[in-house]
A and B are shown apart, each in its own frame.
Chain A
Amino acid sequence: MLKQERKRFALSLSAGILAILVGAYFSLTNGTYPMTAADLWDTLFRGHSNPELGLILFEFRLPRLIVGALVGLGLAIAGTVIQAISKNGLADPGILGINSGAGLGVVIFMYAFMGNRTLDGYFSAISMPLFGLTGGIVAALLIFGLAWERGRLDSQRLLLFGIAVGTGLGSGSIYLSLRMKSGDFDMAAVWVAGSIWNANWYFMIAMVPWFLLLLPIILFKAKLLDVFQLTEESIKSLGVRTEKQKLVLLFASVSLVAICVAAAGAIGFVGLIAPHIAKQLVGQKHMYVLPISGMIGMLLVILADLLARVVVAPAEIPAGIVVSIIGVPYFIYLLFRARA
């Protein structure tokens, strides 16, 4: 039994990595300026091809690919944790209103500092995630504080408060962004729709340390997530300090979400779908589910971004919109399956 699970895990992982590599290849070579495989190879590893290709690859496509992959990874892992803790397969960072909180943080940042600065540069790349983080954590505290009843989290209330608080913070963002200058407003609007077209190396540099800090925390506690699926009484009898561990895990995943939102705006549904697909592939053990889910998240965002660019070229649809067009039918399928 154990061996079989491990085998499925290894199989899924390698298939996933292969799919990501294929996706990355298409994502790097397709676009308004197509490349051949030979071009790609030369530019990436030999560095002696023409400077135009180098510019396109290193300044535009590669950072975009990597930021997209990181965002997918972060959202999917956070979604898995949030679903496990709230014991609700419908929970998702977007539905829980954490996105809107992080969004409001970033809009406040744009409102306060963006007068004459542009999005690149270390200052904004480093401080935008911080504002997003603060906003996301404040939203999470608010929602969890409201849903906290007699020493435990009520998962139904959690979802409802998430929707309520999310709507409120969303209108806060709209209010602020309407007070901006029109240039800043356009930027905020594109960003809110969930797009990674303006990704650059600064974003990646700002994201990676957080991932290096937060992902290990979550992965080390993967076994605890299995424990949370038991009833309240059995957890207590195992001697786990549930509420404290829950808070640590929630804090880590909310931070992940906030950083992703700061980089790419509100890309919904990744955190909802990826865990479900992962569980179908490798079963219920979070030690296996977490990495697979992260991988599927990466794949989803890379593919969505590719579609967003290629299908309607030369126009672009924000990747977030593509994800929700693909994601919703799957979600409804999930709701129907839950009945059976």
Chain B
Amino acid sequence: MHISQTSLAKVILIFFPLGFLALAVLSISIGAKEIPFGDIYQSIFHFDANQPDHQIIIHNRLPRALGACLIGAFLAVSGALMQGMTRNYLASPSIMGVSDGSVFLVTACMVLLPNAGAFVLVLFSLAGSAFGVFLVFGLGSILPNGLTPVRLAIIGTIIGTFLSSLAAALSIYFKTNQDISFWYNARLHQLDPAMIKLAVPFGTAGLVLALILAKPITLLSLGDETAAGLGENTTRIKLLTIVAVALLTGISVALAGKITFVGLLIPHMTRYLVGNDYRWVIPCTAALGGLFLILSDTASRFLNSPFETPISIVTSFIGIPFFIYLIKRNGGKANA
């Protein structure tokens, strides 16, 4: 029996809560200290501050699972937006200098405003990501063939190197490198629940914007002329898309540093499953991205146990073979 792509999308969305629950329970119970499933239920509904297991669950494992799910969803959606907008199958937040832009501005903020709190730093991180995205896409749109896979990848790599070099020079000169690496290494395993609360409004705004843009992006992914011919204002859509990308990636970088390949891999997988209609692609990619990152985060505890391995290493090990497969199949073609 052949299942249509739309019904597959519905299946993904319906089963997402179930999948999330299962993976979250798995992720909460596995780790340096094994926690029985029963305790998870207990700690959420009958929290007992005297039980160490309950403390671990509420203050460490649960925020971590939630954070991983949110970040996975944000990154996957921004990857889908970028790929749809540029029609470039390699576009993704991690190869576009976005996170380096954030590092640069956060460094600048720590140098200029040494007493800035977490909220200000998050704002700077968002602004930095926006700066990175604008720089890369700006150059890509001005230059001839700048948005083709090869050019955009090179521009992204170069701008990324430049911004991170500037940041490194600044932080060495002003001796803030330890603070910086602390800020960026406050990774998933020590995710602060307060930071997650801070992230939710920005992330929601980005997701809502993405859903609103879903239809025009579907048209854009057919080509600028087609979209314009159907009465869409392509420039405005592109600008709004960049805003959404900056919001979603910026907040992810602020929460957990640079996490690679989620934004590249998941949208491709999603389109393979549910087709090219972004009204389905965007919610499904968010669901799959969230699940994928919870799973990767759980795996990251085993690679070098009892120590934690940065989650980016897990996602790279999964993502790079896929990246290579994509290039092998599509080469330098503009749209694939």
Nearest neighbor of B308 in chain A, beta-carbon distance: A178
Nearest neighbor of A331 in chain B, beta-carbon distance: B158
Chain A 288-323 interface mask (CB, 8 Å, partner B; 1/0): 000000000000000000000000100111101110
Q: Is A146 on the interface with B (CB-CB < 8 A)?
A: yes
Q: Is the CB of A321 within 8 A of B316?
A: no
Q: Is the CB of B143 within 8 A of A336?
A: yes
Q: Quick one: which of A165, A178, A193, A317 contacts B309, CB cutoff 8 A?
A: A178
| Alpha-carbon distance between A159 and B157 when the two chains are bound, in angstroms | 11
Looking at chain A's contact residues, is the secondary structure mostly helix, strand, loop, or mixed? helix
Rounded to whole Å, the gap between the CB of A79 and the closest CB of chain B is 15
With contacts A325-B166, A339-B144 taken as known, whether A171 is within 8 angstroms of B312 at the C-beta atoms is: yes
Q: Which of A189-219 contact B (CB under 8 A)?
A: 193
Q: Is B131 on the interface with A (CB-CB < 8 A)?
A: no
Q: Is the CB of A160 within 8 A of B139?
A: no
| Alpha-carbon distance between A251 and B314 when the two chains are bound, in angstroms | 32
Q: Quick one: which of A157, A168, A315, A325 contacts B172, CB cutoff 8 A?
A: A315
Interfacial chain A residues near B327, Cβ < 8 Å: 146, 157, 160-161, 164
Q: Quick one: which of B149, B159, B260 contacts A167, CB cutoff 8 A?
A: B260
Q: Is B173 on the interface with A (CB-CB < 8 A)?
A: yes
Q: Is the CB of A321 within 8 A of B144?
A: no
Nearest neighbor of B261 in chain A, beta-carbon distance: A167
Chain B 238-279 interface mask (CB, 8 Å, partner A; 1/0): 000000000000000000000010000000000000000000
Interfacial chain B residues near A241, Cβ < 8 Å: none
Q: Is A332 on the interface with B (CB-CB < 8 A)?
A: yes
Q: Is the CB of A315 within 8 A of B175?
A: yes
Interfacial chain B residues near A174, Cβ < 8 Å: 310, 313
| Alpha-carbon distance between A179 and B304 when the two chains are bound, in angstroms | 8
Q: Quick one: which of A160, A168, A312, A322 contacts B320, CB cutoff 8 A?
A: A168
Q: Is the CB of B310 within 8 A of A325?
A: no
Q: Quick one: which of B142, B157, B310 contacts A178, CB cutoff 8 A?
A: B310
Q: Is the CB of B154 within 8 A of A95?
A: yes
Q: Is the CB of A163 within 8 A of B175?
A: no
| Alpha-carbon distance between A119 and B166 when the two chains are bound, in angstroms | 28
Q: Is B62 on the interface with A (CB-CB < 8 A)?
A: no
With contacts A159-B153, A163-B157, A335-B155 taken as known, whether A325 is within 8 angstroms of B332 at the C-beta atoms is: no
* Number of chain A residues close to chain B: CB under 8 A: 40
Q: Is A154 on the interface with B (CB-CB < 8 A)?
A: yes
Q: Is the CB of A167 within 8 A of B309?
A: no
| Alpha-carbon distance between A332 and B162 when the two chains are bound, in angstroms | 11
Rounded to whole Å, the gap between the CB of B214 and the closest CB of chain A is 28
With contacts A164-B324, A178-B310, A324-B162 taken as known, whether A317 is within 8 angstroms of B90 at the C-beta atoms is: no
With contacts A315-B175, A317-B172, A335-B139 taken as known, whether A154 is within 8 angstroms of B159 at the C-beta atoms is: no
Interfacial chain B residues near A157, Cβ < 8 Å: 327-328, 331-332
Q: Is A156 on the interface with B (CB-CB < 8 A)?
A: yes
Interfacial chain B residues near A22, Cβ < 8 Å: none
Q: Is the CB of A156 within 8 A of B310?
A: no
A-B interface contact total, Cβ < 8 Å: 108
| Alpha-carbon distance between A247 and B149 when the two chains are bound, in angstroms | 26
Rounded to whole Å, the gap between the CB of B142 and the closest CB of chain A is 8
Q: Is A21 on the interface with B (CB-CB < 8 A)?
A: no
| Alpha-carbon distance between A167 and B94 when the two chains are bound, in angstroms | 11
With contacts A159-B154, A324-B165 taken as known, whether A167 is within 8 angstroms of B172 at the C-beta atoms is: no
Q: Is the CB of A335 within 8 A of B143?
A: yes
Q: Quick one: which of A171, A324, A336 contacts B313, CB cutoff 8 A?
A: A171
| Alpha-carbon distance between A179 and B159 when the two chains are bound, in angstroms | 30
Q: Which of B152-188 contact A (CB under 8 A)?
A: 153-155, 157-159, 161-162, 165-166, 168-169, 172-173, 175
Q: Is B95 on the interface with A (CB-CB < 8 A)?
A: yes
With contacts A159-B153, A335-B143 taken as known, whether A317 is within 8 angstroms of B313 at the C-beta atoms is: no
Nearest neighbor of B135 in chain A, beta-carbon distance: A332
| Alpha-carbon distance between A322 and B332 when the two chains are bound, in angstroms | 32
Interfacial chain A residues near B45, Cβ < 8 Å: none
Q: Quick one: which of B155, B168, B303 contacts A317, CB cutoff 8 A?
A: B168
Q: Which of B283-309 contact A (CB under 8 A)?
A: 303-304, 307, 309
Q: Is B150 on the interface with A (CB-CB < 8 A)?
A: yes
Q: Is the CB of A171 within 8 A of B331?
A: no
Q: Is the CB of A312 within 8 A of B173?
A: yes
| Alpha-carbon distance between A157 and B329 when the two chains are bound, in angstroms | 10
Nearest neighbor of A161 in chain B, beta-carbon distance: B327
Rounded to whole Å, the gap between the CB of B242 and the closest CB of chain A is 19
| Alpha-carbon distance between A332 and B159 when the two chains are bound, in angstroms | 9
Q: Quick one: which of A160, A175, A328, A338 contacts B90, CB cutoff 8 A?
A: A160
Rounded to whole Å, the gap between the CB of A77 and the closest CB of chain B is 22
| Alpha-carbon distance between A338 and B159 when the two chains are bound, in angstroms | 18
| Alpha-carbon distance between A174 and B307 when the two chains are bound, in angstroms | 14
Q: Is A235 on the interface with B (CB-CB < 8 A)?
A: no
Q: Is B47 on the interface with A (CB-CB < 8 A)?
A: no
Rounded to whole Å, the gap between the CB of B300 and the closest CB of chain A is 11
Q: Is B323 on the interface with A (CB-CB < 8 A)?
A: yes
Chain B 54-98 interface mask (CB, 8 Å, partner A; 1/0): 000000000000000000000000000000000000100001000
| Alpha-carbon distance between A324 and B153 when the two chains are bound, in angstroms | 17
Q: Is A90 on the interface with B (CB-CB < 8 A)?
A: yes
Interfacial chain B residues near A335, Cβ < 8 Å: 139, 143, 155
| Alpha-carbon distance between A269 and B159 when the two chains are bound, in angstroms | 12
A residues in contact (CB < 8 Å) with B: 90, 95, 146, 154, 156-157, 159-161, 163-165, 167-168, 171, 174-175, 178-179, 193, 268-269, 312, 315-318, 320-322, 324-325, 328-329, 331-332, 335-336, 338-339
Q: List 5 A-B contacts (CB under 8 A).
A: A146-B328, A160-B150, A160-B327, A331-B158, A338-B144
7 further A-B pairs in the complex, CB-CB below 8 A; given A164-B320, A312-B173, A325-B162? A157-B331, A159-B154, A164-B324, A174-B310, A175-B309, A193-B168, A328-B159
| CB-based closest 7 A-B pairs | A156-B332, A328-B162, A168-B320, A171-B316, A324-B165, A321-B165, A164-B323
